[in-house]
Amino acid sequence: MFSKILIANRGEIAVRIITSAKEMGIKTVAVYSDFDRYSLFTKLADECYYIGESPSSKSYLLADKIIEAANKSSAEAIHPGYGFLSERSFFAKMCKESGIKFIGPGHEAIELLGSKIDAKTLALKNKVPVVPGTDGPLQDLKEIKKTAKEIGYPVLIKASAGGGGKGMRVVMDEDGIESSLRATQSEALSSFGDDSVFIEKYIASPRHIEFQILADEYGNVIHLGERECSMQRRHQKIIEETPSVIIDSDLRNKMGESAKRIVKAAGYSNAGTVEFIVDKNRNFYFLEVNTRLQVEHPITEIRTGIDLVREQLKIASGERLSFRQEDIKFSGHTIECRICAEDSENNFMPSTGKISYMNKFLGSGMREDTGVEQGDEISIYYDPMISKLISHGADREIAVSKMKRALKEYRIEGISTNISFLLSLLESEEFKRGEYHTQFIEKEFLNRHLKTTPDGELKTAVSLAAALFKENKKPKIKLNTGVNGHVKSNWVNKRFENYR
Amino acid sequence: MFSKILIANRGEIAVRIITSAKEMGIKTVAVYSDFDRYSLFTKLADECYYIGESPSSKSYLLADKIIEAANKSSAEAIHPGYGFLSERSFFAKMCKESGIKFIGPGHEAIELLGSKIDAKTLALKNKVPVVPGTDGPLQDLKEIKKTAKEIGYPVLIKASAGGGGKGMRVVMDEDGIESSLRATQSEALSSFGDDSVFIEKYIASPRHIEFQILADEYGNVIHLGERECSMQRRHQKIIEETPSVIIDSDLRNKMGESAKRIVKAAGYSNAGTVEFIVDKNRNFYFLEVNTRLQVEHPITEIRTGIDLVREQLKIASGERLSFRQEDIKFSGHTIECRICAEDSENNFMPSTGKISYMNKFLGSGMREDTGVEQGDEISIYYDPMISKLISHGADREIAVSKMKRALKEYRIEGISTNISFLLSLLESEEFKRGEYHTQFIEKEFLNRHLKTTPDGELKTAVSLAAALFKENKKPKIKLNTGVNGHVKSNWVNKRFENYR
Amino acid sequence: MKKYFIKQESSDKTDEVKIHSDKNASLNEREFQYECKFINENTMILRINNENYFLSVSENEESNLLDINIESKIYKVSCRSELEMMIDKMSGNKTGSKIRKEIHSPMPGIIKSINVKEGERINKGDVIMVLEAMKMENEIKASRECVIKKLNVDVMSSVEKNELLIILE
Amino acid sequence: MKKYFIKQESSDKTDEVKIHSDKNASLNEREFQYECKFINENTMILRINNENYFLSVSENEESNLLDINIESKIYKVSCRSELEMMIDKMSGNKTGSKIRKEIHSPMPGIIKSINVKEGERINKGDVIMVLEAMKMENEIKASRECVIKKLNVDVMSSVEKNELLIILE
């Protein structure tokens, strides 16, 4: 096993990796930007190296700087987390050439699976169904029109190098195809430096379901069950759960084995995730492989009792998987909610500023993965995710009730969050029944009128709270209203004493 | 199910009960003393009733006041937590007579099992071994001497009404018996108003192992496995774990079935704990039944996936147990550490004062049950326990490594705690091997020299930290030392800016 | 005794809260007992009769309303003191909310597109421009029907937080 | 430049820390780089070269030493400034710690028993009295060999925090 590793990431995922490493007796090295000088993950690490300015292009994306820090600190391996350099094959290659173990798959596998078209070809070769579409990149409008007609509208135009919802457009009929193609191509060119696209059948109201994979360096591969990730807004996952209400053990087995075939064929090792979409008739289609740890990995950890970061470190250090597929046991139901700094009442506008107050009560059955503490700043530089709340219960109903309680008791002041939005999602009939899909939020939920008007005792509380807040904030100036001269009465003073 | 319950307790256990009730959609009523007006448990409750002054004799022990609050708030049931009125049969009876459901066993069972001698008789009748000793209360010295001789020294003198380590003395030979008897009797008289004692065989280096029981009101009883509670100081449990390293499934089954027999014979319902001591040859002897929820109940919850408070509420509302003995599955290893406000470097002197700073990092696999927050006061009125940290891992080694990490990252300032003591216990060879007994701490561990002298880089850090602390604290007075006049140099100012 | 006028966002009725002392208050003349402890400027423990609320209040700059957060549900109210109501009456502003005539950048970022022209009349909800920040595209929408008086920025210009983007008529 | 003299509790050797600036310091003339940020009066992030310590320091009234808490292990050191060392030297106090001549009650409680008489010579570790508080009996022990000069309390008397219990010679 390694004696020291470097974490080429920040925030909650850096904290998460440090946690498992410490428990294994491995020393940890953090790298940080100006903004992160005293962020939680640097406080927890054994060593800290400064790598540059706050924008990630000047720090967390600088492969050279990170390799340099690894060399200086004598770290034997680098964990890339998610995002940043985690899926860049050149970085995995640089690590290898510097004699540092990259904690993830080999750069060849990253490169192979990083190309949507190659990955699709690989899936087909291994008898895993894919969404009908072009099997090569296209650029010419005429050819694209012809292909779209063959596949049948609606179709999806996707940037070949895209991801995370970027560079994707649905085209309902031939009239819309030209403008959509131009828009997709210009976006793809500026974002990824590559304007090739491909086209596929658009599947209405699909589920996004993914499988967690572990593969050692000796060809042993297992899956750890599915994650239901259909609760999305703008292709960003918001709530994830496992098991999925639509997956029975038969389908789980079929999809899990498909996922394993792809990963095996790619010569993949370490942790990875195979994404599928599932249509209304429970047909599944391979989507892509994420060649890294996922944001939502904790729900799998809790339901299987397997620490994925620990397994990543063991695999990277050359150990064999210590369990077989039949050893994997699933227990209860797990849900994750992503708490983000965004104003869900104002078009999900990102919210920046200082967290002036944070008070939470997790209680039994709850886990929180976070990189942020009271007093910290939420900046424009990085992802707006503040925290991942994860609940575990004997069944789905209990897991949901725990999550709701914890969300109600999670307080953040100084910035806006999506907590009330998460809570209304959990309270929707569709979520209760488990009947939702990737377009549910945008096409259905956001059109609903969810304003709550308090009544009875709650109305009294709301009204009095508003009045007391205003009273307490009032500048301590003696008003000469004439009628009511004794403004500074005894009880006002008392209240001021209480506050701070 | 109840729609509203009252919690006749405070601190972490009140918080714990509120948590499960909320998850079940049950409204919660807290009662509080002057000291607890704004304690965490009152913040989380739906309703709060004031019941008296801070000393528990003037609030939490006032059965009348509590019943009154229950009536005013229309609570249908009362959960007594642990301590206070939880094992007082008169209170259970008062509840019943007031038409309020007591969430616990019937008052007859509490009374029967509350008498050590009756409980022992019941055990013997049901073929559960007990420690050899007198089967009735004794008061006469001559008779006591005779009995002690028959049993064989060393013997234990115990107050008939005692508990929690109070009113207990080991007598090594006949010379010591008279003074020990007098001391025990006077203590018992002043503490419990009853000076009868009994005598039993003293078992050297025993284990304290207890079984969690659930019994519904229809005679169905199951056990949820053991808890190893031998890590004690002055008869107070400090670290608990499950499973016990000395219990195999055969012994677990035997002890569990013994526990069930006693509880069944007592006509017991709701949650309860049957305590045993186990000698070096793994012979077990019934000790007593705790007719309430235990402090250390979380380790059983985590290992079985069963929420004990939820089960208590379901049983009290008349539901049948929803699982049978064979449904109970155990997973992994769980440990609990009790963090207390006491100065373990100064003879465990209780420490009072305000918690000026609290910073913890739990992370994956950890649970915390607490009733205090930063800014709270630790008082002389109540138990000095601040928090229960609970870790869960796939095996004992992982659970221990998680606990150690969390303890290292648990910061409390303003009061002294036993965190460093807990950490050294976990690091002791005996704990590592699981070879410890109820006298380990006092007879062996406390005699060790555990002072740590830092060296190398650690010594540099310790020395510089001391100097910087002193530098930062220095009053901002310009010293006229003559030699070094420029005291307020630029960098000192900078540091002062950082601080706060 | 202090008097405040409260209007729930979704209601047309104005309620009257009177704070008689630190123990007694009334809502529309219905008296009740309460207790309040501020944890900080925004957070308080409020107990009415024996009901307990651990809640927070914050001023929403966007809407000029107070957001009352109880168990992570947000209730929006306008709250005016007697004095403010007098001023409102004199100035003829019945709703008590200022109409904002300028739109400022909510955060630093880059203007990706501008969908309106100067002089154009737009409706509530129309997208005025798109600001890219935190790797996300954020639409800046009209909160009321209005006419664009002046555009202060160009497409692809980078803006600071609170920088003036548009003046409305 | 500031100079401090540090002695680990378990060592006889005194080490010399020099703080040259907010970036440079030395221990026994060995120079190194550091960085320090105080989170509050007691807690700091200290980085030496690139090693990271998130630690806290508190003054132990009992021992007159500083408790340095690193990862929940407590290191006890005495820390004297140059000025304090000078004063120590002049007053002939070599260890730098004041000898306490009074014992005060560490918390409110009731004196359950007194095991010594006035004028009695006792050894380090001897139990002087037992104080009951927080439902526990707490032994008050002698921290050094001494003679009891005056007992200020009686058995069963209740005492407040910091109340004078005993004067030593």
B423-444 residue pLDDT tens: 999 999 999 999 999 999 999 9
CA distances from A465 to A104, A470, B199, C24, C59 (A): 52, 9, 62, 13, 12
The number of beta carbons lying within 10 Å of the beta carbon of residue A431 is 19
Which spans in A31-162 are helix H?
A: 40-44, 63-73, 89-97, 107-114, 116-125, 141-151
Confidence of residue B165 (pLDDT cuts 50, 70, 90): low
- Report d(CA B60, CA B80) in Å as an integer: 10
| B183 or B463: which leads in pLDDT | B463
Q: Which chain B residues are Cβ-neighbours of C50 within 8 angstroms?
A: 29, 47-49, 72-73
**Cα of B197 to nearest chain A Cα, Å:** 41
Q: Are the beta carbons of A12 and A370 closer than 8 angstroms?
A: yes
Nearest CA in chain C to B38: C45
Q: What pLDDT was estimated at residue C99?
A: 58
**At CA A486, angle to CA A485 and CA A491, rounded to 5?**
155
Confidence of residue C146 (pLDDT cuts 50, 70, 90): confident
CA distances from D57 to A492, B361, B472, D51 (A): 39, 19, 11, 18
Q: Which chain A residues are Cβ-neighbours of C58 within 8 angstroms?
A: 413
CB contact under 8 Å between A364 and B398, yes or no, is no
- B453: nearest Cα among B444, B445, B462, B465: B462
Nearest CA in chain A to B407: A23
B34-52 residue pLDDT tens: 999 999 999 999 999 999 9
Which region among A360-364, C42-46, C107-111, D25-29 has the lowest average model confidence (pLDDT)? C107-111
CB contact under 8 Å between B361 and A394, yes or no, is no
pLDDT above 90 for C36: yes
Nearest CA in chain D to B380: D134
- D97: nearest Cα among D82, D124, D83, D79: D79
Q: Are the beta carbons of C27 and A464 closer than 8 angstroms?
A: yes
Q: How many CA atoms lie within 13 A of A103 on its CB side?
A: 29
Beta strands at C65-70 and D146-151: parallel, antiparallel or unpaired: unpaired
- Report d(CA A83, CA A90) in Å as an integer: 14
Average pLDDT over residues B53-58: 95
Nearest CA in chain C to B73: C50
What amino acid is encoded at C169 in this protein?
E
**Cα of A265 to nearest chain B Cα, Å:** 31
CB contact under 8 Å between A419 and C72, yes or no, is yes
Question: Mean pLDDT, chain C, as a whole number?
Answer: 86
* Whether B88 is catalytic: no
Q: Which chains touch C (3 or more CB pairs under 8 A)?
A: A, B
Which residues of D, range 59-118, sit inside 8 Å of B by Cβ? 62, 66, 68-75, 77, 79, 81, 83, 106-109
Residue positions of A annotated with a catalytic role: 292
Q: Which chain B residues are Cβ-neighbours of D100 within 8 angstroms?
A: none
Confidence of residue A98 (pLDDT cuts 50, 70, 90): very high
Which residues of D, range 1-60, sit inside 8 Å of B by Cβ? 2, 4, 6, 8-11, 15, 17, 19, 21-22, 25, 27, 32, 34, 36-44, 46, 48, 51, 53, 55-58
* Token representation of residue A179: 């403008």
A336-346 residue pLDDT tens: 999 999 998 88
Average pLDDT over residues C39-57: 95
Nearest CA in chain C to B374: C39
Assign 3-state DSSP to chain B and report helix, strand, coil percentages, each to 5: 35, 25, 35
- Report d(CA A403, CA A423) in Å as an integer: 9
Q: What pLDDT was estimated at residue B478?
A: 40
Contacts of B311 (CB under 8 A, 6+ apart): B214, B271, B321
Q: Are the beta carbons of A288 and A324 closer than 8 angstroms?
A: no
Question: Mean pLDDT, chain A, as a whole number?
Answer: 90
Which H or E element spans position B397?
Answer: helix B396-408
Say if D and C touch: at least 3 Cβ pairs within 8 Å.
no
- Report d(CA C68, CA B254) in Å as an integer: 57
CB contact under 8 Å between A453 and C42, yes or no, is no
Whether chain A has a CB inside 8 Å of the CB on B25: the answer is yes
C63-84 residue pLDDT tens: 779 999 999 999 999 999 888 8
**Cα of B48 to nearest chain C Cα, Å:** 5
- B368: nearest Cα among D41, C94, A361, A331: A361
- Report d(CA B39, CA B46) in Å as an integer: 14
Q: Which chains touch B (3 or more CB pairs under 8 A)?
A: A, C, D
**Cα of A181 to nearest chain B Cα, Å:** 45
Q: Does a cis peptide bond (omega within 30 degrees of 0) precede residue A154?
A: yes
| C88 or A235: which leads in pLDDT | A235
- Report d(CA D60, CA D137) in Å as an integer: 22
CB contact under 8 Å between A401 and B369, yes or no, is no
- Report d(CA C65, CA C76) in Å as an integer: 6
Could you give the 3-state DSSP secondary structure of residue B36?
A: coil
Average pLDDT over residues A157-175: 78
Provide the ipTM.
Answer: 0.84
Q: Does a cis peptide bond (omega within 30 degrees of 0) precede residue B154?
A: yes
Which residues of B, range 22-61, sit inside 8 Å of C by Cβ? 29-30, 38, 42-49
Confidence of residue B164 (pLDDT cuts 50, 70, 90): low
% of chain C surpassing 90 pLDDT: 40
Whether chain D has a CB inside 8 Å of the CB on B384: the answer is yes
Predicted TM-score (pTM) of the model is 0.86
B311-344 residue pLDDT tens: 999 999 999 999 999 999 999 999 999 999 999 8
DSSP letter at A25? T
- Which of B23, B331, B364 faces A19 most closely, judged by CB atoms? B364
- Which of A40, A298, A331 faces B305 most closely, judged by CB atoms? A331
* Token representation of residue A386: 């503040």
pLDDT above 60 for A478: no
- A352: nearest Cα among A382, A387, A331, A307: A382
Nearest CA in chain C to A348: C138
- Report d(CA B70, CA B68) in Å as an integer: 5
Task: Give the residues across from D57 on adjacent strands.
Answer: D68
Which H or E element spans position B201?
Answer: strand B197-201
| B100 or B449: which leads in pLDDT | B100
Which residues of B, range 306-325, sit inside 8 Å of A by Cβ? 306-307
DSSP letter at B418? S
Task: Give the residues across from B240 on adjacent strands.
Answer: B336
What DSSP string describes B327-351?
G----SEEEEEEEESEETTTTTEE-
Nearest CA in chain C to A340: C134
Q: Which chain A residues are Cβ-neighbours of C79 within 8 angstroms?
A: 466-467, 469-470
**CA distance from start to end of chain A:** 50
What amino acid is encoded at A232 in this protein?
Q
Pick among B19, B334, B423 to test the A interface (most A CBs inside 10 A):
B19
Q: What pLDDT was estimated at residue A499?
A: 33
Confidence of residue C137 (pLDDT cuts 50, 70, 90): confident
Q: Which chain B residues are Cβ-neighbours of D9 within 8 angstroms?
A: 451
Q: Which chains touch D (3 or more CB pairs under 8 A)?
A: A, B
- Which of B454, B472, B479 faces D75 most closely, judged by CB atoms? B454
Average pLDDT over residues B167-192: 84
Which H or E element spans position A169?
Answer: strand A166-171
Contacts of A329 (CB under 8 A, 6+ apart): A304, A305, B331
Average pLDDT over residues A492-500: 34
pLDDT (tens place) for every residue of chain D, 169 residues total: 899 999 998 788 999 999 999 999 999 999 999 999 999 999 999 999 999 999 999 998 767 799 999 999 999 999 998 888 877 777 665 554 455 678 888 778 888 888 888 888 888 778 888 888 766 777 788 877 888 888 888 888 888 877 888 888 8
Nearest CA in chain C to B46: C52
Catalytic residue among B292, B303, B310, B495: B292
Q: Which chain C residues are Cβ-neighbours of A468 within 8 angstroms?
A: 19, 36, 44, 46
| A77 or C81: which leads in pLDDT | A77
CB contact under 8 Å between A380 and C107, yes or no, is yes
How buried is residue B179: exposed, middle or buried, by Cβ count under 10 Å (0-12/13-18/19+)?
Answer: exposed
Q: Which chain D residues are Cβ-neighbours of B495 within 8 angstroms?
A: 22, 36, 38
- Report d(CA B43, CA B373) in Å as an integer: 11
CA distances from C116 to C110, C145, C155 (A): 17, 13, 11
- A389: nearest Cα among A424, A427, A338, A461: A338
Q: What pLDDT was estimated at residue B317?
A: 98
Question: Mean pLDDT, chain B, as a whole number?
Answer: 90
Q: What pLDDT was estimated at residue D96?
A: 46
Whether chain D has a CB inside 8 Å of the CB on B394: the answer is no
* Token representation of residue B204: 């050297």
- Report d(CA A240, CA A223) in Å as an integer: 18
CB contact under 8 Å between A47 and D37, yes or no, is no
Contacts of B101 (CB under 8 A, 6+ apart): B2, B76, B77, B78, B95, B316, B317
**CA torsion angle A147 A148 A152 A157 (round to 10):** 130
What DSSP string describes D77-143?
EEEEEHHHHHHHHHHT-SS--PPP-EEE-SSSEEEEEE---TT-EE-TT-EEEEEEETTEEEEEE-S
Q: At what angle do helices B396-408 and A11-23 cross, to 10 degrees?
A: 120
Which region among A417-421, B173-177, B311-315 has the lowest average model confidence (pLDDT)? B173-177
b/e per residue B314-348 (b: at least 16 CB within 10 A)? bbbbeeebebeeeebebebbbbbbbbbbbbbbbeb
Whether chain D has a CB inside 8 Å of the CB on B383: the answer is yes
Confidence of residue B481 (pLDDT cuts 50, 70, 90): very low
Contacts of A215 (CB under 8 A, 6+ apart): A105, A221, A222, A263, A264, A268, A269, A270, A272, A315, A321
Q: What sign for the dihedral angle of Cα B281, B286, B289, B290? A: negative
Beta strands in A260-365 (DSSP E): 270-278, 284-290, 333-340, 342-343, 349-350, 353-354, 357-359
Task: Give the residues across from A213 on adjacent strands.
Answer: A223, A272
| B144 or B3: which leads in pLDDT | B3
**Cα of D140 to nearest chain B Cα, Å:** 9
